[in-house]
Amino acid sequence: MIDVTINNITVSVPEGTTILEAAEKAQVHIPTLCHLNMPNVRYVNKCSSCRICMVEVEGRANLVPACATEVTQAMVVKTSTPRAMSARKIVLELLLSDHPADCLCCPKNTRCELQSLAYELGVREIAYKGEQSIYPPDVTSCSFIRDLNKCIMCRRCETVCNNVQTVGVYSAVDRGFDAVVNSAFGRPIIESPCTFCGQCVSVCPTAALTEVNHTRKVLEALNDPDKYVVVQTAPAIRVALGEEFGLDAGTIVTGKMVAALKQMGFDKVLDTDFAADLTVMEEAAEFIDRVKNGGRLPILTSCCPAWVKFFEHQFPDLLDIPSTCKSPHEMMGAIIKTYVAEKIGIPAEKIYVVSVMPCLAKKYEAARPELVNDEMDNVDAVITTRELAEMIRESGINFLELQDEEFDHPIGQSSGASVIFGTTGGVIEATLRTACEWLTGKPLNKIEFHELRGLSGIREAELEIAGMEFRIGIANGLGNTRTLLEKIRNGEVHYDAIEIMACPGGCINGGGQPAHHNNWGILEKRSRALYAEDQRKPLRKSHENPSIIQLYKEYLGEPNSEKAHALLHTYYQKRELV
């Protein structure tokens, strides 16, 4: 342990601790901008490029960055000397001199860390005038927009993309005034191996990275008398939306969310959980077919579009391993425009399907040409949790005072298995609840598979089902996924089924969720809330959902039937690495 004194407060910290970390223990605030601590994935962005955290160390002539300077025995640090405070302010003023002054209409207005820091450090005017960077915005992606004019070279996106997700889209290029974080050769993001997971958007402190906003598009549809607008909401939305209105993380706001959507004028408000149950039916049937008929194992879940694009780019030799099931919201869109359309007597071409998702990759997924039926997209628009909150506020709805309402029918009913799709481990647990009973022909003695739960990056469990041993793998975060798949490719490990989610923690940490600022406790609360919701459900298994049973009886026939395949399954393709 090392003793260090910060602003006359002495603390003992382990060797290797930075001044910033020691200051946190001493409860001394040092402002930061580029620093990003990601304890959940054991990565820290401490390139010290912004120089906002400069402090004075006794005996040293120069100021040092607190985020990247390790403490030494008996070090004396001063964080609020005139020299340190002046240096921070000058650095911030220089950053602002090359930053667009469009705060009032910026997508990150009131949520921008640069804006907050300017307020904290008392910057009230642009002190330095001069040349400004001018880059055309990259709007090629269906998921997010890159505006390099607002890039402050914090390099957080570079760290999360390269080190955590191992996709490798971003890199710092050029020097001096021209330095910026960009894609290879400055090519549009759509031409890169980007998976559109949105983790870069989640960590960006400014509006250099923002989601493609579909709220205008949805409002126009709601006001079009020729459109019948149906909305569906993913499991992870109900445990995160409340945070946008001041509620604690993990507060379940399902009823208020439904009430808000109905007030906004949606013709039907449906639960994507129903389609999660449908996904379980198809995926469990596909798994059992492979087990009984010598099919390719392991089977990999295919609910996450960012993970799908990742393996199309990075592991094209394994394209026959993932399940061919569409993701739940795409299945739901297909069923809405066929089965539901017939039930309610509305022509499919008049139905406009909106998905509320925790994920930016769902925006890209909805535009994939493979995901159409009868030349119609399964889903017409995707909005994130943040965008839904924006629409609720814009509509003048007092969210906290809303009385709970229920989802509409005929496909609003769901099981507890479907709810846990929103957290890592939930998809495989939900699928096993059904697969186990189908394989054994007997009811499960236990519903919950606690060995599959948790937020660690890679997990595994061994289960005995119908006298057979099954090895289950779980990976969340694309870096962990790469590690697991490379071991499979090299024959180092064997699994029978693997669940993969692109975002660390799963959909509860999707790129469209309210910012958690790497507070892993918030993700744990969201995850626990989904499991609690599962426990409260009267039905806990997908195959016991009466609405699912009715859908197969009236329309699909049986899981993996020809009609089910035509509507609910897809295919994959090799994509080039650029």
Cβ pair 109, 103 in contact under 8 A? yes
- Active-site hit among 56, 286, 312, 429: 286
Triad 233, 237, 238: Cα angle to 5°: 95
- Catalytic: 487? no
DSSP 8-state class, residue 223:
T
DSSP 8-state class, residue 138:
B
- Catalytic: 141? no
Rounded-to-integer distance, Cα 282 and Cα 296, Å? 16
DSSP codes, 227-274: -EEEEEE-GGGGGTGGGGGTPPTT---HHHHHHHHHHTT-SEEEEHHH
- Catalytic: 415? no
Distances (CA, A) of 562 to 300, 468, 567: 21, 29, 9
- Catalytic: 370? yes
- Catalytic: 24? no
**Amino acid sitting at position 434:** T
- Active-site hit among 106, 200, 303, 503: 303
- Active-site hit among 158, 365, 429, 499: 365
- Catalytic: 323? yes
What tokens appear for 424 in the block? 């890592």
- Active-site hit among 113, 244, 282, 283: 283
- Catalytic: 303? yes
Spell out the residues 6+ positions from residue 450 whose beta carbon is closer than 8 angstroms to its own.
none
- Active-site hit among 191, 349, 370, 558: 370
The region that residue 15 occupies, defined by phi over 0 for left and psi between -120 and 50 for alpha, beta otherwise, is: beta
- Catalytic: 21? no
DSSP codes, 318-358: GTTSB--BPPHHHHHHHHIIIIIHHHHT--GGGEEEEEEES
- Active-site hit among 362, 363, 525, 541: 362
- Active-site hit among 49, 141, 183, 323: 323
- Active-site hit among 112, 157, 197, 507: 507
Residue 28's CB: how many other CB atoms inside 10 A? 20
- Active-site amino acid positions: 283, 286, 303, 323, 362, 365, 370, 507
